[in-house]
Structure 1
């Protein structure tokens, strides 16, 4: 079971051919604290909220981190523009916490990918904000969509930036593709 509302996470699991259902929990996500701890704890909170006997439940949380500040999903276009300006011409980290609850046990991990944005002009910001793609996206951009035009380079797992770090997930659940 996937304990997440994220269409990106759903799409990644579908691409892998994994049979699952979605039951998104009503969980308040933390946004303050040490970033790695925050994303792992949020992922655990989601997985625990849907854990039940005989089921494997996956929770995940993704955040963008720059200068130690955690950026989740912007609440509106003004906040999205502020975040994108902060990322412009700089390298930031995308951190995803993943957690699996199964058979009374919990496993969790974190993936970190470095993303460098190109220097964005006002016209770039206006164009991207007008797409609306920034909505419901950690850091206000979608690398798998038009947001790819904002990115200069990445170091690490691309799927982590999309929303679900596949290599880290397979290390956490080695039999995932066989179950």
Structure 2
């Protein structure tokens, strides 16, 4: 696989997962208009595709680079919960998720040099504990919800909100490794 991998994202979680795997990459955020409404699976995949294509068409995507776009959303009863606007919005989102199960969807898109975009979708079910007002206030007060789909970070203090998960934990963190490896099976051979 040509290197480096260009990550069309600012997500520190995605950077941490790629680093954990030893995959060389460069961060090159792509600023695109993201979908917020529609079929949740389509929203996640289309947003990932938009990010990857924006970067692939940018001068930063030099010859030989592979571009990776990812978008993660939280879905409850068919409604998409993106990143909360403020602490009150985060608290409202967490209150809606409390004591219920929701789905975390991540769209993944890779564009190899001269190739067409290839996409995958990962899905993980997350079961939240019942959350009282004090717990909601505590978590909203941490600020950890900022920039997080669904308003929580399972790898941080948000772990206290979760009862169980079914599926890929790293998908909930922000980068579904099995989906990435399905799209780029040789990527681990380039790992350090």
TM-score calculated relative to the size of structure 2: 0.92
**Residue from 168, 172, 181 that aligns with 1:161:** 172
Per-residue CA deviation, residues 81-109 of structure 1 (Å, 9 max, x unaligned), is 11001000000000000000012221100
Aligned to 2:105: 95
The list of structure 1 runs, each at least 4 consecutive aligned residues, that deviate by more than 3 angstroms after superposition, is none
Distance 1:138 1:24 in 2: 17
Q: Alpha carbon RMSD of aligned pairs, Å?
A: 0.7
Distance 2:177 2:145 in 1: 23
How many residue pairs get matched? 179
* Structure 1 residue 130: Cα displacement: 1.0
Aligned to 1:123: 134
Distance 1:26 1:88 in 2: 32
1:11 corresponds to 2:21: no
Unmatched 5+ stretches in structure 2:
1-5
Distance 2:179 2:69 in 1: 13
Aligned to 2:3: none
* Structure 1 residue 178: Cα displacement: 1.0
Distance 2:110 2:77 in 1: 29
**Within 5 A, what are the aligned runs for 1:138-153?**
138-153=149-164
1:57 corresponds to 2:62: no
Unmatched 5+ stretches in structure 1:
none
